[in-house]
Amino acid sequence: MSTPLKLVAFSKEQPARLLTIYLIEQGIQAEYQYSENDYAHAVMLLDSSEQIRAKTLAEEFVLNPSNEKYQKAAWQSGETVKLIPEKSFSAAKTLYDLKQAPFTSSILAICLLIYLLAMVGITAPYLWLKIQPIDVLVDSGQWWRLLGPALIHFSVLHIAFNLLWWWSLGRQIEITFGISSLLMLFVFSAVVSNVAQLLVSGANFGGLSGVVYALVGCVWWLGWLKPNWGLTLPKPIVVFLLVWLVVGYLDVLPVHMANTAHLVGLVCGCLFAWFLVTKSKNSNVQ
């Protein structure tokens, strides 16, 4: 028996467990292994002489991990995919989550603080962050205002919707790719979507939704381009968000939406997913 060889690693446990069970069902000696890193869930090959066949089967799995044959193999083996249990809610767990994603946490806290200050009549942050026409920005040099609208919100539903998605998707991206990648995506999508909305409708808008749609686009396309990275959005969620985007353009809602920022943000996220995949290929990252 040779030294165990890492066949493939995932950022989530379930695909690693399923692939391990399937390989064993196919007569290949494999085991699941957990470690403390970004791609923490590994499938280990116990006999290197089976590497070629195992690699072929692993590639098939990565291309179509939802194929029912993998779950069927788990059922036939008499095993279930037992995931590492989530810890119950606690202050310690919340603090751990915040430390794991400091940039995601910081933007969330800033948005909340600005909104709460406005609720008690302190509107100075709004005035300081509100975007201005390009010619005014050229004269004033206040270029931070290109980012500003992403940090201001106008209602409870507005901020709740945006921050829930920001926390859910932003944290995944930050933990998987690091703070620099999420920072780049935030700045890129905020500036481009804000400028696009400014040119179309003027300066009276705000909200993190352009960035949120960038996160959606990024995670959505990474699910297609690199499914083994473990980042994905359920199809019903993608459909809902795309329909919501179309509904905004139909102008049938009682509120005016920053539709251009949403659409441009979505495109920015898809482009950033392509950037991440291209970068990984150049770095020979699986």
Dihedral angle computed from the Cα positions of residues 155, 157, 162 and 163, in that order, rounded to the nearest 10 degrees: 90
pLDDT at 25: 85
Please report, for the chain, the start and end positions of each structural domain, with discontinuous segments joined by +. 5-76, 91-282
Stated pTM of the model: 0.67
Helical residues (DSSP H) of 64-133, grouped into ranges: 68-76, 91-100, 102-119, 124-129
> How many CB atoms sit inside 10 A of residue 205's CB?
22
Residues noted as catalytic: 209, 262
pLDDT tens readout for residues 222-268: 988 888 777 888 888 888 888 878 877 776 665 667 889 999 999 99
Q: What is the mean pLDDT of the chain?
A: 84
Instruction: Look at residue 81 and tell me whether its pLDDT is greater than 60.
Output: no
Pick the CATH number of 5-76 from 3.40.50.2300, 2.60.40.10, 3.60.20.10, 3.30.70.2350: 3.30.70.2350
The enclosing H or E element of 184 equals helix 179-201
- In CATH, the number for domain 91-282 is 1.20.1540.10
233 Cβ partners below 8 Å, 6+ apart?
216, 219, 220, 223
Three-class SS state of 5: strand
pLDDT tens readout for residues 126-155: 999 999 999 999 999 999 999 999 999 999
Q: Are 216 and 269 in contact (CB under 8 A)?
A: yes
